[in-house]
Structure 1
Amino acid sequence: MKIEEIASIEDMELELFLRKRQAGVLVWKTKDGKTIPIKDLKDEHLVNILNMLNRKEEERQQCLEAFGSLGKMEVYEKADYTIVRKSDTT
């Protein structure tokens, strides 16, 4: 007996991704501008890409946290300049 299951939105998104990958539509762009279909990337290259993306995300989070620690900022704009003053209150 065959059991069928109605596809969810996640299933449909995954299917679309898999079709794009197999068609060679999804590519990785290297720092020298070369594009490589992700379906052709070797395992080691995929691991290196994931590690780099994780490092970049950690750096982005650190920047966001650093800006958040500055406290509430007030911005005053004039014709040719902007004054930023840190508020004493949060």
Structure 2
Amino acid sequence: QESLLSAEDIENATLSVADIQQTLHPFLSKGTILVGHSLNKDLEVLKIDHPKVIDTALVFKYSNVRKPRRASLNNLCKSILGYQVRKEG
């Protein structure tokens, strides 16, 4: 699975996991619904267990293949919204 983070990004990080958790905490009440793409890994790394998550990678899957798989965010945006999140290549 592709990651947008490089080893250099992680080495140069200025915030700890605890810093990020503290920043996000005010937004994560019981009534908050998190919406994002492939959130499971992000939440796992941040050690955040939130009960209400809508993950577009799980909602929108390729159904015309033998084993349904997750669409990339770029392909999902291209097919539904008509534009690319990032250029290929």
Question: Hey, which of these two has a bigger chunk of helix by percent?
Answer: 1
Q: Determine which structure has the larger strand proportion and give its number.
A: 1
Q: Which has the larger radius of gyration?
A: 1
Higher relative contact order (CA 8 A, sep 6+): 2
Q: Same fold (TM over 0.5)?
A: no
- Name the TM-score class by shorter chain: under 0.3
Please report the TM-score for the alignment, with normalisation by the length of structure 1. 0.27
TM-score, normalization: structure 2?
0.27
